[in-house]
Structure 1
Amino acid sequence: MKKNRLVLSMLGLGMLALASCSDDNNNEPAPGPGNGAKSKYVFVAYSVGSEGVESAPYIISADSVTGGKVGLSNGIETDAYSFVTQDNKLFAAVWGGQGPVTPYNLDANGKIVQAGNTVNAVVAAIYGAVGTDSWVGGGFNGDKQDPMATLFRFDAKNLILGGRNTIDMNKLAVGDEWPTWYGVFPVDQDKLFIPYDMFPLDQTQTQTKYTDSTWIMVATYPGLQFKKIIRDGRTGTIGSWFGMHGLKQIEDGDVYAYSTAVRSKNPSAVVRIKKGTEEFDQSYFFNLEAKTGGLKVSRGDYISNGKFLMSFFINAKEVTEWAGRTKLAIVDVKNQTITWVTGVPEHAQMGYKQKTFVEEDGNTIRYVLKDDAGKHFVYTINATTAVGTKGLEFENISDITTISKLTF
């Protein structure tokens, strides 16, 4: 795992060297934003490098995802690795240096343009939208030599850092093991839940002793101060490195979290934290392995009304953190049911997280996958019927890392 995290860091720095911002050489001022009556789907796509692997990232758009093809020609090159959607903007955060953040939006003509100045923050190993006008990022080091981690709030309306605070990671460490944050999720408007895992500081050890533990750090919001630790021992770690998934507060105020439980004696499962509490609800336990005949969940994204779109490893041999062959299901955590999605083929999961966008109707899901022929498509999935349909195809790209929708 430590080696993989180092590889990710080097990958990000390598992309910085390869990629540079570009735009039309045009001195005419860009049109301002439109009235929001129209919209486009916005993606981050990587070009194909000389060795057939991903090269430079581009922000591209499409009017529809139900059919047709799209490539890099109508996009702009960027130099970031992480992308957060908030306040009808796409924020591009660089993995390296001072973690510079650059906002993008669509102008009145629907063209992708830079929406404001680049702001230095910190390298954000975790990030997530909070409310309607901010997002929170977090960066940390992997040992006791530099134990102070940073949480920062980015003001998406004024395009400035709205606040920051440091967290002493010694508060989370256990013995000779060190914490790694896996995501940041808003809860009750006044706090953040940050799932994390442990990793041994001893370089000769490659696996944590705490595979059977579920950890969440609670931080205040907007103060970003450490509050407490929540732990449970019935499943495993929530989320995965750079996955930004695994936990969600749903409409009724309850919080649901799910775990792959890789290398754990515990089953892959969903657990709950009741509204207004900061402890795991011992009366609730949704055993996903028992329900699926032994399959472990890989990733997931919230849809609405207690339903998640989750991917499951098709067998025990496929269970890893970043790879593995998966199939999709609609998982209802309130009724504890699983409905397999038809019309979407089994596929190798893409890097780090699912690429999912849920429409405002809370039922229509847009899902990006790479098929066995190496082609990338957007599938539209109906959450009620659990039926998927192949749509937009991407041409001459090596990867898709982000799907969102902006108005103009």
Structure 2
Amino acid sequence: MLGITGFGIGCSKDDKPAVDNGGNNGGTSKSKFVFVVYTDGSGGEAGRYIVPVEDVTKGSLTTTGVGVETEAYSFIRQHNKLFGIVYAAQGPTSPYKLDGNGKLVSAGQPVNTEFTGIYGIVNEDAYVGGSVNRSKESPVATLYRFDAVNGKVAGRNTVDLSKITGTDEMAVWTGLFQVNNKVYIPYYTTPGVDGANTKYVDSTWIAVFSYPELAFQKVIRDGRTGFIGNWFGMQGVQQTTDGDVYAWSTAGGSGSLRSTKHSAIVRIKKNTEEFDQSYFFDVEAVAGAKIARGEYIADGKFLMTLYATGETGGVSGGKVKLAIVDVYNKTVTPVSGVPVHAQMSYNMKVFVDSDKKTAYYVLKNDEGKLYLYVIDVATAVGKQGIYFQGISDVTSITKLNY
């Protein structure tokens, strides 16, 4: 389970959700969607399950007879496996796969890893995870490289989060993304002291690390919008097909922690490591709304949630609406057929098909019911699909091949 949000807002271990990060297709022709869900206890004892299903365009999904119970909170897809990461110090990371019959089975022995607060896939064979600390008394975090083929931790490096910002505050990471042969980690800052708030709500930062060494190299900073991403959200930065990197900011918050800047998208040009001052997509001015979350589709298009009212959330909160945002042409196209709904915790529950024509998005409606919506990217039209019966939360959605 993974997600992240800003302004020093914390979360208990039982809150941790999951994020999908895409992955390779495994070279096979058959596939199933795989969801990680929390049951509501209506069918017995409440729990957390991994559930495969073939058709998500209709019908309902339950965990009865098909779900595999799990203790993991974070989930990442890599090398056609689903890795479940327990949100605890030295918690086990357990790999899953679909067997030849499409049944979810273990894909190897659990491996102990660090407390994992951020993570992202790298190439076709690995992912990188990192711990997240928010106290000046304990500012050291660990990045680790996980070999997804052989199922082992292949390298580690420690980082002092109080020494990378160039300010009197420390960094709090909000996600981890591969950009060419580097690792980009966006962050916000905190004084690292109880009761003290950041002074830097109007700045955008990305820390750059080498790969595979995971050594800190530099910080990329901008002052035209707020910080990138949200606590445990694993969103906010994406390299597009043409090699450029786009980052987006809610520029939200409340009271003294509300950014004075507009919610916007900024760019890092291909083969550079600085924000492009010639590009600024003021989404708030164009759409009259702030960005909540985003996921890249293709060809400069993102599926994004935009806040539908003046209320902006952190890990959750606020009402949102769905839109296709084109960063090349600086347009925002509302997705019809999908109702305004409450922002789910941490991250968007979304999966984009390999052909980039269809996106699948999970929401909870005003009646408290969870549905998946099938989004046609070209027409920006959504249709209601599978109903999650007896399920209180969906924390991850992906596909595995078999």
TM-score by length of 1: 0.90
Greater shift in the superposed pair: 350-359 or 317-326: 317-326
Please say if 1:195 is aligned against 2:186: yes
235, 242, 248: which one aligns with 1:245? 235
Q: Give 1:48-67 correspondences, 5 Å limit.
A: 48-49=40-41, 55-67=46-58
Q: Which deviates further from its counterpart, 175-184 or 226-235?
A: 175-184
Tell me the distance in 1 between the aligned counterparts of 2:167 and 2:314. 26
Listed as ranges, the matches of 1:40-51 within 5 Å are: 40-49=32-41
Q: 2:341, 2:364 within 8 Å by CA — same for their partners in 1? A: yes
CA distance 1:175–1:282, change in 2 (3 Å) = closer
Alignment correspondent of 2:135: 143
1:243–1:35 Cα change, 3 Å: closer
Q: Percent identity of the aligned residues?
A: 52
Contact 2:165 2:219 in 1 (8 A): no
Work out which of the residue numbers 269, 272, 280 in structure 2 matches 1:277: 272
Paired residue for 1:255? 245
- Paired with 1:100 and 1:246, the residues of 2 have a C-alpha distance of 27
Distance change in 2, residues 1:196/1:35 (3 Å)? closer
| Code of the aligned partner of 1:201 | G
The match for 2:262 is 267
User: How far, CA to CA, are the matches of 1:229 and 1:317 in structure 2?
Assistant: 31
For 1:122-179, what per-residue CA distance to the aligned partner results, in whole angstroms no more than 9, with x for missing partners?
0110011111111110003222322221111111111111211111212224554221
What does residue 119 of structure 2 align with? 127
Report the Cα distance in structure 2 between the residues aligned to 1:127 and 1:302, rounded to whole angstroms.
Answer: 17
Question: Secondary structure at the residue paired with 1:264?
Answer: coil
Compare the two structures and name the one with the higher helix fraction.
1
Query: How far 1:56 sits from its partner (Å)?
Result: 2.0
Matches within 5 A, 1:340-359: 340-359=334-353
- Residue of structure 2 equivalent to 1:234: 224
Q: 2: CA distance between counterparts of 1:145 and 1:282?
A: 37
SS in 1 for 2:95: strand
2: CA distance, partners of 1:255 / 1:4: 27
1:296/1:319 contact within 8 Å kept: no
Q: Secondary structure at the match of 1:291?
A: helix
- Measured after TM superposition, the shift of residue 201 of structure 1 is 2.5
Q: In structure 2, do the counterparts of structure 1 residues 320 and 226 end up closer, same or farther at CA, with 3 Å as the change threshold?
A: closer
Offset at 1:202? Answer: 3.1
Contact 2:230 2:314 in 1 (8 A): no
Whether 1:384 aligns to 2:378 is: yes
Distance 1:218 1:55, change over 3 A: farther
Specify whether residues 211 and 226 from structure 1 end up closer, same or farther in structure 2 by C-alpha distance, changes over 3 A only: same
Q: By how many angstroms is 1:3 displaced?
A: 7.5
Paired residues, what number? 382
Q: 1:25 maps to what in 2?
A: none
Structure 2 residue 281 is the aligned partner of structure 1 residue 286 = yes
* Structure possessing the higher radius of gyration over alpha carbons: 1
Q: 1:285 to 1:233 in 2, by over 3 A?
A: same
* 1:177/1:208 contact within 8 Å kept: yes
Moved more, 273-282 or 152-161: 152-161
TM-superposed deviation, 1:317: 2.7
The answer to whether 1:305 aligns with 2:299 is yes
- State the one-letter code of the partner of 1:156: A
Query: Any idea what SS the aligned residue of 1:235 has?
Result: coil
* 1:339 partner letter: T
Show structure 2 runs of 5+ residues with no match: 1-5, 18-25, 253-257
TM-score (norm 2): 0.91
Deviations 1:315-344 (A, max 9, x none): 213454411100000000011011000001
Counterpart-to-counterpart distance in 2, 1:147 and 1:390: 45
8 Å contact 1:176–1:202 — kept in the other structure? no
User: Quick one: which of 183, 203, 211 aligns to 1:213?
Assistant: 203
Q: In structure 2, give the amino acid aligned to 1:146.
A: S
Q: 1:137 to 1:320 in 2, by over 3 A?
A: closer
The separation in 1 between residues aligned to 2:206 and 2:8, in whole angstroms, is 24
Q: Distance in 2 between matches of 1:284 and 1:218?
A: 21
Is 135-144 or 317-326 further displaced after alignment?
A: 317-326
- Secondary structure at the counterpart of residue 12 of structure 2: helix
How does 1:1-16 map onto structure 2 within 5 Å? Answer: 4-5=9-10, 7-9=11-13, 11=15
Higher relative contact order (CA 8 A, sep 6+): 2
Q: Is the 8 A contact 2:76 2:84 kept in 1?
A: yes
**CA–CA separation in structure 2 for the residues paired with 1:334 and 1:398:** 37
Q: Distance in 2 between matches of 1:35 and 1:325?
A: 40
Moved more, 243-252 or 34-43: 34-43
Rounded Cα–Cα distance in structure 1 between residues aligned with 2:221 and 2:118: 20
CA distance in 1, matches of 2:62, 2:376: 26
Displacement of 1:379: 0.6
Look up the SS of the partner of 1:286 in the other structure.
coil
8 Å Cα contact 2:60-2:388 kept in structure 1: yes
- The answer to whether the 8 A contact 1:369-1:376 is kept is yes
Match of 1:402 among 396, 399, 402: 396
**Conserved 8 A contact 2:311-2:319:** no
8 Å CA contact 2:49, 2:68 repeated in 1: yes
The residue that corresponds to 1:28 in the other structure is none
**Matched position secondary structure for 2:233:** coil
Aligned 8 A contact 1:176 1:201 in 2:
no
| 3-state secondary structure, aligned to 1:289 | helix
